[in-house]
Structure 1
Amino acid sequence: MNLKIKLTCSLLLLSTCFLNAQSVKELFEDKLSPALLIKDVDQAYKELNQNHPNLDWFIEKKKLTKKIDSLKKTIKEPLTRLEFRYKLLTVIQSIGDGHITLAMNVSSVSPNDYDNYFVNRFFPIQQFDFKLLDTSLYVTASLHNAGIPVGAQVLSLNGVTAKEVIRKMHKGICADGYNDTFKLFTLNAGVFSNVYSSTFGYQDSIKFEIQSGEVKKTVMVATKSGTGKPLVASQNPSTFRFSNDWKYAVMKISSFDNSLSFQFGYQYESWFVDMMRAQNKTLVLDLRDNIGGDQNNATKLFALLIDRPQYFGLVPKSYTDNSKKAAAASLNPGVTNQVIPSKSAYTGKIYLLVNGGTFSAAAILAADLKATNNNVIVVGEESGGGSEGCTGGTFKHVDLANSNLTLRYGEIPLKTLGNYPDKGRGLIPGIKIKYTIADILAKRDLEMDWVLNDIKSK
């Protein structure tokens, strides 16, 4: 599945469960009473409190309970479902579980109704592509509006500073631990407009205050009729190549998702056989923008990068002692049984590239490699997935009774093999890379530039 489509579906609005609302207008514009919304808060918290396996990993339960109580006290007036969703997410995200999602159901809405509300209207925020650098916001593509040039910095949107816009959007995105790089990645992965709309509502007009060079100006952008920009077709999840002089190999692993037509085990094995035949001693393993997928596919790659049997992830003893929980955990290879090294396993130097999009199974793989292999040099940005592990495996979906929201969370607590000192953080690179807007517009690859310079210097 394409990264943008996958993020949109998992983080934002799409679900296929039963709906109470029967039209898009009702779903996105009608308001629900405080009494009904508070019931949904209680339902969500009861579900997580009773069944989430890592609820107090990053926040004490009494602090979370206090946040829930405070949230309920703020619900004094009727809210739209989007407004309620955001309020609830600001509390749920404090759990520090990046796999938790809260999606709005649209399954009972007719395709024509949906298209008339969304597809046939091009909202102002959808008319541009954006990139965030820390707390600064830039336009990187002007899709259907020439009024704002590419490279312009956005200072405010409808009078709200860009810094405040980003802060508020961050509060509605779940991430592992105390990590911010996954939140930044999410907003930079082509779904900024979706997150903006789910946070601030679907706005028919936006006043942009921008700065281009030394010039500051205000641009009013209104909704246009017609279809939005098309979603990009799926891409090959993995690529492999040798350098022209055969001194190093580059392996780009974009996804472990089974929805992609890619023979993970067979293809990985063939690549490593090629490296063995070429007597290759240097591998660039690129896990940037890989938000995970099937852990089995990550484990197949792990088997080609270890020299002795290893677990891929560790689960609490209470799970292996409980037959029902053990059965669920056993769905994940490398959890209840060790991963056996492949006969084609690689033992040379590894440059491991990571960023905020290195998440879930990809983040676990990265953390495990760093913990078990002294030949690994990590380059890039703090990984979006926690270096200590995550809560995933099998997932439970719970429909909230009144707000048409579906809560999803993982049921298996999985820890990585390393003992990393910074609790709640991703894998921290030894070589940290920082981009400027000029780098982004020029489509530079600073991580690869650093790696190639380092290889040449040896």
Structure 2
Amino acid sequence: MKFSALVFIVLFFCATFNVNAQYLDQMSKQLYQPSDLKKDIDLVKTTLEREHPNLYLYIPKKALDYKFDSLRKTIDKPITSIALYIKLQRVISSIGDGHLTVEIDYSKFTSQDIAFLKKPSLQHPIYQFGYYVTGKRLFITKNLSADSTIIKGTEIMSINEVPATRLIDSLYSYITSDGYNTTYKKHLMNNAGLFAERYRFLFPGKEPLDISLKSSGTSRKIKLAARQEKGFDSIGGMPPPTTEYRTLSADQNVAYLKLRTFYNEPNFVGYEGVFADIEKRKPKALVIDLRGNTGGELIWAARIYSHLLDIPRYFYRLPDEIKQQRKLYDNPKIRNWVDSTPKSNYQMIQPYSFTFKGKIYVLIDGGSFSSSSLLAANLKNLKNVTLVGEETGGSKNIFTAGVHKSVTLPHSQLLLKYGNIPAYFGDITNIDGRGVMPDIPITYQIEDYLAGKDLELDWVLKDIVKTVDLNN
């Protein structure tokens, strides 16, 4: 699942301001009759029932039907598309499919929309801090408020008398993820600004926030008021390259490969040059960093796999293997798909002409999602691989992606996006809705985060010294 920063800003701006833009006008100001919006809700439900193969893998049909029925009952007066978006989000997130989303079609933004977003506006107070969620605790990582005495690392105990623990639980329910996984939600909270954005969903008013803080054992209360701030600025720096490769030691015995995404640009030449250099330098250890890689094109994940294999292997579980997993195979949609899919449809990944056979460390976290998590699940089966970090955001056993489809809801003009092809991998004997677990779990404290430490890489470098023979 990919989030657009522009969408966040739209949701922030257009709910309460006197919008002078075209598409934003429609989404934030136009009121739709309950009968029309209920038709949109019904279209979401019937589309998923017809086309989503894993719709009831993590939620029973009766429970999901109840959620849709309850949602319809809440639409008892005219509301905007933005309001429907917020309501739908909670139902969609309960399905447990991180690739399934309801979105605003920001491709329809006009030049007037963009110009409006760049104007200074009265911001909701929640945006004056940066936030870090760890477990059920909430910390401040950036202070943009007028009170300079609030330092980084200050813990937020409550906002408007609502404890941080309850806020985090509530906001999580508005974020989609695979199965019962929470690390992907935490990743989005911390790295995509979703704590502030989701808080804004639940509490849209701009009145001052009463916030209870705790720092160095001392508690205090502050009142955070809304203030005028500069709007969205679409001009930014160049994004970092999708792939970063370097050596980590002077003797060049440790190679490091950072894969930020598998959405590679059209002129991307592949990974052959990287592994040609690895073949030339002959490092003893290779670190593959998948942290924050939310996925992309499966072909590129498979290419990486081909450079690390010992023998030919499949990237997915075959139909005969899926039949052994009763929870999957008892699902009529999955059974029909499995029974009609020949083994010849599956491509076996062949080892590349050069494959790295030294020690491999794979760094993973909650941001390792979709094809990135799939790669981690396959690498975990190799004997020379150690996974370091935290549970991946993507499912260890199954996700629903393949050909992504989108349906425009005719009245609200929201987009329903979903995959319709299931992919199975990992341990077929235990489908539990969790991600790929690390061999070496790493946990960050707020002090580590603020200090910019890389605990995963620190552990790897120490382990290389202890376990890898760097002299031969």
Check whether the contact 1:82–1:198 (CA below 8 A) recurs between aligned residues. no
Structure 2 residue runs without a partner (length 5+): 12-20, 320-334, 468-472
CA distance in 2, matches of 1:240, 1:378: 19
Q: Is the 8 A contact 1:382 1:427 kept in 2?
A: yes
Give the Cα separation in 2 of the matches to 1:395 and 1:206.
40
Q: In structure 1, how many angstroms separate the alpha carbons of the residues matched to 2:118 and 2:43?
A: 30
- Tell me, in whole angstroms, the C-alpha distance in 2 between the residues paired with 1:305 and 1:127: 45
Alignment pair present for 1:226 and 2:230: yes
Question: Which one of 295, 299, 303 corresponds to residue 300 of structure 1?
Answer: 303
The residue aligned with 1:18 is none
C-alpha spacing 1:84/1:296, structure 2 compared with 1 (3 Å): same
Residue 367 of structure 1 aligns to a residue in which SS? helix
CA 400–10 in structure 1, closer or farther in 2 if over 3 Å, else same: farther
Residue of structure 2 equivalent to 1:277: 280
Out of 232, 238, 241, the position equivalent to 1:236 is: 241
1:381 to 390, 402, 411: 390
Tell me, in whole angstroms, the C-alpha distance in 1 between the residues paired with 2:7 and 2:443.
26
1:101 alignment counterpart: 101
Task: Give the partner amino acid of 1:359.
Answer: F
Q: What are the Cα deviations for residues 5-46 of structure 1, in whole angstroms up to 9, with x where unaligned? A: x5226986889xxxxx94535522554333222222111000
- Other-structure match for 1:54: 54
Residue equivalent to 1:127: 128
Equivalent residue, structure 2, for 1:350: 360
Q: Deviations over 1:364-403 (max 9, x none)?
A: 00001113x1222111110000001211121110111222
Q: State how many pairs are aligned.
A: 437
1:300 CA displacement: 0.9
Q: 2:15 matched to which residue of 1?
A: none
Equivalent in 161, 166, 169 of residue 167 of structure 1: 169
Task: Tell me which residue corresponds to 2:253.
Answer: 247
- Contact 2:7–2:106 (8 Å) recurs in 1: no
Amino acid in structure 1 at the alignment position of 2:211: F
- What's the counterpart of residue 407 of structure 1? 416
CA contact (8 A) 1:237 1:262 kept: no
Contact 2:397 2:431 in 1 (8 A): no
1:408-427 matched pairs, under 5 angstroms: 408-419=417-428, 421=430, 423-427=432-436
Q: From the superposition, tell whether residues 294 and 9 of structure 1 become closer, same or farther in structure 2 (CA, over 3 Å).
A: farther
Report if the CA contact (8 A) 1:386-1:425 is conserved.
Answer: yes
| Inter-partner Cα distance in structure 1 for 2:282 and 2:107 | 54
When structure 1 is superposed on structure 2, of 49-58 and 230-239 the one drifting more is: 230-239
Residue number in structure 2 paired with 1:312 = 315
Q: What CA distance in whole angstroms lies between the structure 1 residues aligned with 2:171 and 2:82?
A: 13
1:216 matched to 2:220: yes
TM-superposed CA distance for 1:197, in Å, is 3.0
Matched to 2:310, the amino acid is: D
User: 1:65 deviation in Å?
Assistant: 1.7
Aligned to 2:461, what secondary structure does the other structure show?
helix
Q: Percent identity?
A: 35
TM-score, normalised on structure 2?
0.83
Is 2:439 the counterpart of 1:434? no
CA distance in 1, matches of 2:404, 2:231: 34
SS at match of 1:7: coil
| Correspondence 1:341 to 2:351 | yes
Contact 2:9 2:232 in 1 (8 A): no
Structure 1 position 431, deviation (Å): 1.2
| Range 411-420 or range 202-211, more displaced | 202-211
| Structure 1 position 394 matched with structure 2 position 400 | no
| Structure 1 residues 277 and 63: CA distance shift in structure 2, 3 A | same
**Taking structure 1 as reference, are residues 51 and 351 closer, same or farther at Cα in structure 2, changes over 3 Å only?**
same
Unpaired runs of at least 5, structure 1: 16-20
Q: Is the 8 A contact 1:155 1:161 kept in 2?
A: yes
Deviation (angstroms), 1:425: 0.2
Query: Helix, strand or coil for the counterpart of 1:32?
Result: coil
Question: Aligned partners of 1:166 and 1:432: how far apart in 2?
Answer: 23
Distance 1:113 1:204, change over 3 A: farther
Deviation per CA, 1:323-371: give whole Å up to 9, x if none.
Answer: xx99xx99xxxx6321111011112221111000000110000001113
Q: Which residue of 2 aligns with 1:8?
A: 4
Aligned to 1:72: 72
Query: Does the aligned pair in 2 maintain the 1:176–1:424 contact within 8 Å?
Result: yes
| Corresponding position: 1:92 with 2:98 | no
The residue number in structure 1 matching 2:156 is: 154
SS in 1 for 2:278: helix
Task: Determine if contact 1:83/1:199 at 8 Å carries over to the other structure.
Answer: no
**What are the equivalent positions in structure 2 for 1:354-369 lying under 5 Å apart?**
354-369=364-379
Deviations 1:389-430 (A, max 9, x none): 211121110111222211000121111244363510000112
Note if contact 2:242-2:264 (Cα within 8 Å) is conserved in structure 1. no
| More deviation, 270-279/127-136 | 270-279
Report SS of the residue matched to 1:95. coil
One-letter identity of the residue aligned with 2:292: D
CA separation in 2, counterparts of 1:189 and 1:200? 21
1:255 positional shift: 0.8
CA contact (8 A) 1:239 1:253 kept: yes
Q: Which amino acid aligns with 1:121?
A: S
Go from structure 1 to structure 2 and tell me whether the alpha carbon gap of 1:407 and 1:367 turns closer, same or farther (over 3 Å shift).
same
